[in-house]
Amino acid sequence: GITRHYKFDVKLHNVTRLCHTRSIVSVNGQFPGPRIVAREGDQLLIKVVNHVPNNVSIHWHGIRQLRSGWADGPAYVTQCPIQNGQSYVYNFTIIGQRGTLFWHAHISWLRATLYGPIIILPKRGIPYPFAKPYKEVPIVFGEWFNADPEVVISQALQTGGGPNVSDAYTINGLPGPLYNCSAKDTFKMKVKPGKTYLLRLVNAALNDELFFSIANHTLTVVDVDAVYVKPFKTETLLITPGQTTNVILKTKPSYPNATFFMTARPYVTGQGTFDNSTVAGILEYESPPNSLHSSIMLPLLKPILPALNDTSFATKFGSKLRSLASAQYPANVPQKHNQTCQGPNGTKFAASVNNVSFTMPTTALLQAHFFGQSNGVYTPDFPSSPTIPFNYTGTQPNNTMVINGTKVVVLPFNTSVELVMQDTNILGAESHPLHLHGFNFFVVGQGFGNFDPNKDHAKFNLIDPIERNTVGVPSGGWVAIRFLADNPGVWFMHCHLEVHTSWGLKMAWIVLDGELPTQKLLPPPADLPKC
């Protein structure tokens, strides 16, 4: 691999959407931010310079960060934030991953405007396990707020209510023609007939899982979270915040001057308010040269998306995702069973895992761990199961008690972890896209109702389970994952719905060093920010 250098200047910059102009925190004056392109095996040196009053940190979402935990980015977990006037060089190497990931701010709600795609090409000379596409196009979903998202969340936390919802969803920063005062801000993708395009989809939205479809076209899913999958065709796909999906779009043999909508709108299972709107972009076929039909415009077709709460679509879509499990791309599912049962529970004022609502420390957990200064920063007593067992899917909650604390799980190097994440039903069932830093995990099972260890273990898929970094805990159900704790450091795990993270649906794992030098976390870089 080679070394690639990037410079991210975090600055304020005026952006107008929906006829509202706002000074947003952005990278290099771009919204969405710049794309990072690298190959598997490359080293990245990304210098982030903070020119804004806000504290900033950037997370390279889905990058495994083997031994380089100092570059992971969540504020107060692996680093103190970069303060105004300071800079920090994120230094990491991409090992064993290729596909699409993304980067985003990892402090407060700054990721509303600070995000961009990471495109990881295979090593030189190694082909994709599918035909080489004619072109590759990143499609990044986001959410636009007319108000400052930092104000939106801080007001919500002060009043204890739900935050105001966003004013639009966006494709590559553009809300599209279905919103008022927005037609000129429409993402347009020009295509030629009879070609294949690789769409690199990223859901960088703050708070909504999204359905996505292109009218009259079928998509072939080939990769999720930078892991190849067994290809399958679908009209519509579901992508949660924190997930990335590569799909192949084969254009029609000929459609001169035809245009089609591509749209995304939310999949909603909770009971709070949400942004029930649709972002649209346009797929536009180029007309053939000297076309006699150049004046014929077919009507703009809109795709049909599933109902807002179509959990059965979500379940079916999830079960179609399978690892390649081939000789070249094996599915090495850890076999040991160290079971921890988690109950993310959403309440109005707090969200928790195993009844612990996580409190952010004021110094970075990784520093405290590395220098043996955990005193007053965290406690290694995260409960291995909910402190008060109850019927998770019962309608009458009998357990709404949460403890506040910075409680972590400590794992010896190479522990095989099996984790069952159970949705609870405190204020109604809700799907939670849980994201784990530092690892890919295998999704070995999922179901509705309460997880039953006696019955459900037998049904696990240990042959070709999907491998990824973010998975939707089904609304009113559970999902079981396994991962091998082979990456020393401190690793955050949280719901990628930002509002749930703000309410405490987050926790951290500490993975201890192994015996060999190659199994130890490297020492921190000299420019690591101080709190």
Minimum gap (Å) between residue 436 Cβ and ligand C2O: 9
Exposed e or buried b per residue across 253-283, where buried means at least 16 C-beta atoms within 10 angstroms of its C-beta: eebbbbbbbbbbbbbbbbebebbebbbbbbb
Minimum gap (Å) between residue 437 Cβ and ligand C2O: 6
Question: What is the spatial distance between Cα 109 and Cα 474, in angstroms, rounded to a whole number?
Answer: 25
Question: What is the spatial distance between Cα 265 and Cα 279, in angstroms, rounded to a whole number?
Answer: 7
Question: What is the spatial distance between Cα 491 and Cα 71, in angstroms, rounded to a whole number?
Answer: 12
Task: Return the structure tokens found at 504.
Answer: 């405490």
Instruction: Give CB contacts under 8 A, 24+ apart, made by 123-127.
Output: 123/1, 123/39, 123/40, 123/41, 123/98, 124/39, 126/40
Instruction: Lay out the site mask for ligand C2O across 157-196 (x = CB under 6 A, - = otherwise).
Output: ----------------------------------------
Minimum gap (Å) between residue 489 Cβ and ligand C2O: 14
Identified binder of ligand C2O from the candidate list 17, 67, 98, 106, rule CB under 6 A: 106
Question: What is the spatial distance between Cα 361 and Cα 316, in angstroms, rounded to a whole number?
Answer: 39
Nearest to 62 by CA among 233, 209, 246, 232: 246
Instruction: Lay out the site mask for ligand C2O across 143-162 (x = CB under 6 A, - = otherwise).
Output: --------------------
Stretch that binds ligand C2O, among 189-197, 252-260, 262-270, 492-500 (CB under 6 A): 492-500
Minimum gap (Å) between residue 44 Cβ and ligand C2O: 17
Question: What is the spatial distance between Cα 340 and Cα 346, in angstroms, rounded to a whole number?
Answer: 19
DSSP assignment, residue 30?
Answer: B
Stretch that binds ligand C2O, among 292-300, 401-409, 490-498, 512-520 (CB under 6 A): 490-498
Task: Return the structure tokens found at 53.
Answer: 């009053």
Instruction: Lay out the site mask for ligand C2O across 414-453 (x = CB under 6 A, - = otherwise).
Output: ---------------------x-x----------------
| Residue number of the CB atom closest to ligand C2O | 61
3-state secondary structure 90-140: EEEECCCCCEEEEEEECCCCHHHCCEEEEEEECCCCCCCCCCCCCEEEEEE
Minimum gap (Å) between residue 33 Cβ and ligand C2O: 14
DSSP assignment, residue 174?
Answer: B
Minimum gap (Å) between residue 493 Cβ and ligand C2O: 8
Minimum gap (Å) between residue 417 Cβ and ligand C2O: 18
Q: Which is nearer to ligand C2O, 74 or 477 (CB)?
A: 74
In DSSP terms, 16 is beta-bridged to 21
Q: Which is nearer to ligand C2O, 104 or 369 (CB)?
A: 104
Q: Which is nearer to ligand C2O, 111 or 322 (CB)?
A: 111
Stretch that binds ligand C2O, among 195-203, 282-290, 346-354, 491-499 (CB under 6 A): 491-499
| Amino acid symbol at 205 | A
Q: Which is nearer to ligand C2O, 117 or 306 (CB)?
A: 117
Asked if 197 and 220 count as a contact pair (C-beta separation under 8 A), the reply is no
Question: What is the spatial distance between Cα 502 and Cα 397, in angstroms, rounded to a whole number?
Answer: 22
Cis-peptide, bond into residue 129, ω within 30° of zero: no
Q: Is 115 near ligand C2O (CB under 6 A)?
A: no
Q: Is 529 near ligand C2O (CB under 6 A)?
A: no
Minimum gap (Å) between residue 142 Cβ and ligand C2O: 13
- Coil, strand, or helix at residue 218? coil
Minimum gap (Å) between residue 467 Cβ and ligand C2O: 17
Minimum gap (Å) between residue 506 Cβ and ligand C2O: 8
Residues 6+ apart with CB under 8 A from 429: 269, 393, 423, 475, 476, 477
Stretch that binds ligand C2O, among 166-174, 191-199, 344-352, 489-497 (CB under 6 A): 489-497
Stretch that binds ligand C2O, among 13-21, 356-364, 441-449, 488-496 (CB under 6 A): 488-496
* Angle, vertex CA 361, rays to CA 358 and CA 362, nearest 5: 155
Minimum gap (Å) between residue 241 Cβ and ligand C2O: 8
Minimum gap (Å) between residue 105 Cβ and ligand C2O: 10
Distance from the Cα of residue 36 to its chain's centroid: 16
Give the distance between the most distant pair of CA atoms in the chain: 77
Task: Return the structure tokens found at 27.
Answer: 């990278």
Length of the chain, please?
531
Asked if 115 and 59 count as a contact pair (C-beta separation under 8 A), the reply is no
Under rule CB under 6 A, how many of the chain's residues touch ligand C2O? Answer: 11
Minimum gap (Å) between residue 202 Cβ and ligand C2O: 10
Identified binder of ligand C2O from the candidate list 494, 508, 511, 521, rule CB under 6 A: 494
Instruction: Lay out the site mask for ligand C2O across 54-93 (x = CB under 6 A, - = otherwise).
Output: -----x-x------------x-------------------
* Touching ligand C2O, residues 230-249 (CB under 6 A): 242
Exposed e or buried b per residue across 353-383, where buried means at least 16 C-beta atoms within 10 angstroms of its C-beta: bbbbbbeebeebbbbbbbeeebeebbeeebb
* Touching ligand C2O, residues 242-281 (CB under 6 A): 242
Identified binder of ligand C2O from the candidate list 141, 392, 492, 503, rule CB under 6 A: 492
Q: Is 104 near ligand C2O (CB under 6 A)?
A: yes
Q: Which residues contribute to the site for ligand C2O (CB under 6 A)?
A: 59, 61, 74, 104, 106, 242, 435, 437, 492, 494, 496
